[in-house]
């Protein structure tokens, strides 16, 4: 629903006042609950007026376009000033007085921002070791697969880094007890089997 010229004038004046208040205060000051919606509706009304004047009154059209540009500029300044303060608020606990200064849009933004920061803090401070899940495969299955791979290749060896905890594996040269992050030198057939199952990574030397 379009605004009347008087309503448009009031919103433009309120916006300029809000810019001055934000520039002169380090704290977030209270604004009208429908402030953002009013600015949006004002821009929508002015753009409709501009579309109606473009074909019939070019001078009026240019004046309206200039006013639209001024509203957009004022709002950008207001937004940057106000939301820089909201970003600071998101870093600490907000008291009731501060919370009551905010519009519904700002409260929603602040809640999401605080959640994002809390998630980041948890990521940086979580030092607990993640549980390593062993592959769901039997030692016998690994041994059979390794034996098959071993018959395909000669006696070359590969240097590997193990990426999972594995059950004990019996090979002709002995038993292997492989654990996550172990660095080992294994026969090529056995090594290729582990790599194929993503239980090891080849180390290039």
Could you tell me if 147 and 114 lie in one domain?
A: no
Which residues, at least 6 apart from 114, have a Cβ–Cβ distance to it below 8 Å?
90
Residues 53 and 89 reside in one and the same domain: yes
Q: Are residues 78 and 157 in the same domain?
A: no
CATH code assigned at 159: 3.40.5.50
Provide CB contacts within 8 A for 29, sequence distance 6+: 21, 22, 101
Q: Quick one: 121 and 179 in the same domain?
A: no
Contact 194, 167 (CB under 8 A): no
pLDDT tens column, 159-194: 888 888 888 777 776 777 888 888 887 888 888 888
* CATH (domain of 69): 1.20.58.1030
Is the domain of 189 the same as that of 112?
A: no
User: How does DSSP classify residue 25?
Assistant: -
Range of the structural domain that residue 72 is part of: 5-125
Q: How many CB atoms lie within 10 A of CB 164?
A: 18
More confident residue, 1 or 29: 29
What is the pTM for the complete model shown?
0.58
**How many domains does the structure of the chain reveal?**
2
Q: Mind listing the pLDDT tens digit for each residue in 52-104?
A: 998 899 999 999 999 999 999 999 999 999 999 999 988 888 888 889 999 99
Do both 146 and 92 map to the same domain?
no
Tell whether 30 and 100 lie within a shared domain: yes
């Amino acid at each position: 629903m379009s605004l009347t010229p008087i309503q448009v004038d009031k919103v433009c004046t309120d916006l300029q006042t809000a810019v001055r208040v934000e520039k002169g205060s380090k704290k977030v000051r209270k604004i009208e609950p429908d402030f953002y919606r009013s600015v949006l509706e004002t821009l929508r009304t002015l753009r409709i007026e501009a579309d109606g004047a473009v074909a019939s009154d070019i001078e009026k059209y240019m004046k309206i376009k200039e006013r639209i540009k001024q509203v957009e500029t004022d709002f950008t300044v207001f937004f940057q000033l106000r939301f820089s303060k909201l970003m600071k608020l998101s870093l600490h606990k907000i008291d009731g007085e501060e919370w009551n200064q905010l519009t519904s849009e700002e409260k929603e933004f602040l809640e999401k921002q605080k959640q994002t920061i809390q998630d980041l803090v948890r990521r940086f401070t979580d030092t607990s070791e993640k549980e390593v899940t062993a592959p769901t495969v039997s030692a016998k299955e690994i041994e059979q697969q390794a034996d098959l791979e071993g018959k395909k290749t000669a006696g070359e060896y590969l240097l590997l880094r193990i990426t999972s905890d594995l059950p004990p594996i019996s090979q002709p040269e002995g038993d292997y007890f492989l654990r996550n992050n172990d660095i080992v030198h294994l026969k090529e057939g056995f090594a290729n089997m582990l790599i194929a199952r993503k239980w090891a990574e080849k180390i290039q030397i």
